[in-house]
Amino acid sequence: MTRPRWSWPALLLLALLVWVVAYPLVLVALDAFRNGNGWTLEYVRAVFKRSSEISAIWNSLWISVASAAVAGLIGLPLAALFGLVDFPGRRVLGALIALPVVMPPLVGVVAFLFLFGESGFVARFVQAALRLDQPPWRLEGGWAILLVHAYAFYGYFYLLGRAGLAGVDRSLLEASAALGAGRWRTLTRVLLPLLRPTLVGATLLVFLSALASFSAPYIFGGNFRVMPTQIVSTRLNGDDGIAMVETVILTLMALAGLWLASRFEGSATLTGGSKGGAPIRRSPRSRAARVGVAAAAWLIAIGLLLPHATLLLLSFVPAGTWTIETLPPVYTLGNYGALLSEPERLGPLLNSSWMAVLATAAAMAVAVIAGLLVVRQKAAGGKAIQALLAVPWAVPGTVFAIALAAVFSVDRPLALRFILIGTPWLLPLAYLIRNLPLASRPVLAGFRGLDPALDEAGASLGAGRWRRLRRITLPLLAPALAAGATLSFATALGDFVTSIVLYTYDTRPISLEILSSLRQSDVGVAAALGMVLTVLAGGVFALGSERRAVSQ
């Protein structure tokens, strides 16, 4: 047990992960520095000579940093409100305002467009109220992207912040008070340091998400380019070498963020000390304060859910019926009917569903096998397996899309490269890779939380390996499995960033159908597709959390 031993299953898993995760990235890195004739710096020079490339790098950087700052400014006060204060409706509202995080990125962007875009509700109201000839603004450029990011990502600060607050032992705050510290000193010297890993983690998460964000810059960017959109457009222009260099730069930016965060995260000893204890939530003293807080929370929640409501409303608007009116005049179920009756519309729904199911099942299988090997058996190579499972979390989706497209576009079986591009199998593979960290993180944590004595007890009672896995390990892991599977499925179902690089017409997913509906000004169908995605993702999440609640 103490000394890691090499085992065939661990070696096989490691080899598989190297092949699908590390190998494509290494090939991209190499392709950035070679052309048909051999090694070259020609592409690197070309990138740094163009001002458009430099500004894309700069744009990506400031947007990502600013997104983290703004998301924190929105998410943390909300976490404090819902985590520290008790008021009527706290549970329901607290769950509702986490919804934007669940919404697939493209759907959120489209909902924002319908609400705040130049022909969206808010602009129309303002135009009508002020009797303007033109829409009052255009939602475009860096600020528009930042606004969408703030909305899409505040949930990370909110959810992690609430989890962090829930994990704070009340007696630590009481100890601080008993030692004579006032509120301010307790906040700055005790609570914030205790929450530091949470804060750093949420900042990193938003930074990486914003850096990898594709939907918002793609829809709202206009001429304002960030690295992911720049890479895709470079590749469309056929400058593959330059696209590889850009991909390497984007990866390095993500790794730099990861490195910086690890410097600031603080020591791991924070988990020591005392645990449990009563929640630190308090009810406001006076009735007026309670009512006031509840009212404020309702207003905030309604404001944050407006984009969802917009999407729902527009999904009932038939094409061509809404022109200059402030509110759409006609509402029918026709758009939903079209989704079911028209094969072109139904196809993407079915495509996304089977690809997401396949990718999720495969990712869960990998995660469980990794848990058995790495945590249970402590097999040699465990650290490498865990690292490879985590890599797709930090590396932007565009990078993996480009890398997979490069690897699987030639037929060289000896180099383990096959032609998958243009086949239905490349997208599920891409989804699987992107799902690996989402599936394995909760599952590995679940394995670590299992008391090994339970498996040993099963063995002493005569249960074989399979029966123990089926009757003991997997049921105990149910909450972790539910968390990993729902996260994976929802992500794959709504994926846009890798799909736009790797899709074929026959296997085009929902996100691309939304995009083409938008292009054809088929707003109602786009909204209906967005609603279907949101409901599917939200429903799966609800099922997952119910599963978790039941098993706890």
Burial (Cβ within 10 Å: 0-12, 13-18, ≥19) of residue 342: exposed
Alpha-carbon dihedral angle through residues 504, 510, 516, 520, given to the nearest 10 degrees: 150
145 near 66, Cβ under 8 Å? no
Q: DSSP code of 282?
A: B
Per-residue burial over 270-289, b = 16 or more CB atoms within 10 Å of its CB, e = otherwise: eeeeeeeeeebeeeeeeeee
Q: Which helix (H) or strand (E) holds 341?
A: helix 334-341
Task: Closer to other proteins by CB, 3 or 275: give it.
Answer: 275
User: Smallest distance, Å, CB 78 to other proteins?
Assistant: 24
Burial (Cβ within 10 Å: 0-12, 13-18, ≥19) of residue 139: buried
Alpha-carbon dihedral angle through residues 536, 20, 56, 252, given to the nearest 10 degrees: 120
Q: Which residues bind other proteins (CB under 8 A)?
A: 169, 171-172, 174-182, 185, 189-190, 193-194, 196, 266-267, 269-277
251 near 399, Cβ under 8 Å? yes
Task: Closer to other proteins by CB, 22 or 84: give it.
Answer: 84
Ranges of beta strands (E only) in 73-185 are: none
Ranges of beta strands (E only) in 322-396 are: none
User: Smallest distance, Å, CB 181 to other proteins?
Assistant: 5
User: Smallest distance, Å, CB 390 to other proteins?
Assistant: 25
107 near 186, Cβ under 8 Å? no
Task: Closer to other proteins by CB, 180 or 413: give it.
Answer: 180
Task: Closer to other proteins by CB, 180 or 343: give it.
Answer: 180
For residue 276, the one-letter residue type is G
Burial (Cβ within 10 Å: 0-12, 13-18, ≥19) of residue 182: exposed
Task: Closer to other proteins by CB, 268 or 324: give it.
Answer: 268
Ranges of beta strands (E only) in 361-474 are: none
202 near 213, Cβ under 8 Å? no
Task: Closer to other proteins by CB, 270 or 463: give it.
Answer: 270
526 near 518, Cβ under 8 Å? yes
User: Smallest distance, Å, CB 282 to other proteins?
Assistant: 11
For residue 478, the one-letter residue type is A
User: Smallest distance, Å, CB 190 to other proteins?
Assistant: 6
Pairing state between β 34-35 and 38-39: antiparallel
For residue 146, the one-letter residue type is L
Task: Closer to other proteins by CB, 196 or 548: give it.
Answer: 196
Assigned token pair, 408: 């699987």
Per the document, the length of the chain is 552
User: Smallest distance, Å, CB 273 to other proteins?
Assistant: 4
User: Smallest distance, Å, CB 277 to other proteins?
Assistant: 7
User: Smallest distance, Å, CB 304 to other proteins?
Assistant: 32
User: Smallest distance, Å, CB 264 to other proteins?
Assistant: 13
**Residue owning tokens 């065939």:** 8
Task: Closer to other proteins by CB, 107 or 195: give it.
Answer: 195
Task: Closer to other proteins by CB, 172 or 358: give it.
Answer: 172
Q: Helix (H, G, I), strand (E, B), or coil: what is residue 168?
A: coil
Residue 510 to residue 202: CA distance in whole angstroms: 29
Task: Closer to other proteins by CB, 167 or 538: give it.
Answer: 167
User: Smallest distance, Å, CB 186 to other proteins?
Assistant: 8
Nearest to 199 by CA among 150, 101, 266, 259: 266
Task: Closer to other proteins by CB, 185 or 448: give it.
Answer: 185
User: Smallest distance, Å, CB 172 to other proteins?
Assistant: 5
**Residue owning tokens 């030639």:** 410
Task: Closer to other proteins by CB, 38 or 182: give it.
Answer: 182
User: Smallest distance, Å, CB 335 to other proteins?
Assistant: 52
